A = this chain, B = another copy of it.
Amino acid sequence: MSMNRQIVLNSRPVGAPTPADFRLIESAIPTPAAGEILLRTTYLSLDPYMRGRMSDAPSYAPPVALNDVMVGGTIARVAASNNPQFKVGDLVLSYSGWQDYAISNGEGVNILPADMAQPSMALGVLGMPGFTAYMGLLDIGQPKAGDTVVVAAASGAVGAIVGQIAKLKGCRVIGIAGGKDKCDYVTNELGFDLCIDRKDPDFAAQLAAACPTGIDVYFESVGGAVFDAVLPLLNVGARIPVCGLIAHYNDQQLPAGPDRLGLLMGTLLKKRIKMQGFIIFDDYGHRYGEFFSAMSQWLSEGKIKFKEDLVQGLENAPEAFMGLLEGKNFGKLIVRVEQ
């Protein structure tokens, strides 16, 4: 391969992204200047937050500019180095985006252990999604043994970890996932007590039946009809960490009324509930070491399982990402860029 393939933002999506919103371009592989390194992407992480970066609505991070490379976390190898901190062959966690090669000055690039058995874990269970699950559940959710913890998107990269940690803390854990296969995986493989299929017509009634003593912690990453079913079940003193709202990312306008903003606030008041949004590295970056140690320990003891949904080839990233927003992935979605 002598060219660098890049997937750039071709247009801002109106509603759900379409293939035309992405464009694959090719250019010469760049050459690192003094102090810089050339990174060859091995794995690209695909995550729901990327939908926000495709829009220019105000958010917590600036949008990707039109014709710029789509952003994203990556595992890469150092292919050339003019920076003494990196040597050719180093395996790194970087933020190279949707492209074969990237130039970096080394800032924010972390060298991974050379003997790491499965480097893609640094994009999932040991990376941003796992860290999100860990801090959101433990710091904001404050689960106590015996609590009922409900987890949205329970087979996903974050939810799967949330529920397993909650089980380790002695909670009763109810997952919510889309489809029977995912629900079976959540209960049989991950060990949740129950998992409700959000696609079932009587989903809300099933969730209520699954939570006879109400919900103490609801880990939110979905919103929409899932939250609507959760809202009336929340207990006094409940905690709601909010790390995402994937059901709303393609919204083009507010849904029809009635307006339930006051209803939500009234519920928070009457039931003394804490609802808190967080962006993992912004809020908890200083505690990554604590997370990494705890999670590594659990993994080594076989207490936490994880599943990757591996897609082959950078050119397939747009389709995989569009599927992610529809819940088509099964496990942490990762693109293998270097074959």
Residues of A that sit less than 8 Å from B by CB: 52, 58-60, 220, 223-224, 227, 236, 242-245, 248, 251, 253-279, 282-283
User: Once the chains bind, are A262 and B277 in contact (CB under 8 Å)?
Assistant: no
Measured between alpha carbons, how far is A243 from B262 in the docked complex, in Å?
14
Write out the residue numbers on chain B whose beta carbons fall within 8 Å of the beta carbon of A236.
60
Q: Please tell me if the beta carbons of B244 and A255 are within 8 angstroms of each other in the complex.
A: no
Given A257-B254, A258-B253, CB of A272 within 8 Å of CB of B279: yes
Known contacts A60-B270, A254-B257, A257-B257; A262/B275 CB under 8 A: no
**Additional A-B contact list (18), CB under 8 Å, known A223-B266, A245-B269:** A59-B270, A60-B272, A223-B262, A227-B265, A254-B258, A254-B260, A255-B257, A255-B258, A255-B259, A257-B259, A258-B259, A261-B261, A264-B264, A265-B275, A267-B277, A268-B276, A274-B277, A276-B276
Output the least CB separation between A238 and chain B (Å): 10
In contact, B256 and A262 (Cβ under 8 angstroms): no
A268-B258 contact, Cβ under 8 Å, with A60-B236, A236-B60: no
Interfacial chain B residues near A245, Cβ < 8 Å: 262, 265-266, 269
Closest CB in chain B relative to A56 CB, distance in Å: 13
Instruction: State in angstroms the CA–CA spacing of A248 and B282 once bound together.
Output: 35
* A278–B269 CA distance with the chains assembled, in angstroms: 6
Alpha-carbon distance between A223 and B244 when the two chains are bound, in angstroms: 25
Q: Name 15 A/B residue pairs within 8 A (Cβ), A-sorted.
A: A60-B272, A227-B265, A245-B266, A248-B262, A254-B262, A255-B259, A257-B257, A259-B260, A261-B261, A265-B277, A268-B275, A268-B277, A273-B276, A275-B275, A275-B276
Q: Is the pair A269, B277 in contact by a Cβ cutoff of 8 Å?
A: yes
Q: Could you say which residues of chain B place their CB within 8 Å of the CB of A283?
A: 272
Known: A255-B257, A257-B254, A257-B257. A270 touches B262 (CB 8 A): no
- Min Cβ gap A258→B in Å is 4
Given contacts A248-B262, A262-B248, A274-B276, contact A269 B242 (CB under 8 A): yes
Cβ contacts under 8 Å, A257 to chain B: 254-259
B282 near A277 with CB under 8 A, answer no
- Specify which chain B residues have a CB less than 8 angstroms from the CB of A276 in the assembled complex: 268, 272-276
On chain B, the residues within 8 Å of A262 by CB distance are: 223-224, 245, 248, 251, 254-255
A290 CB to nearest B CB, Å: 19
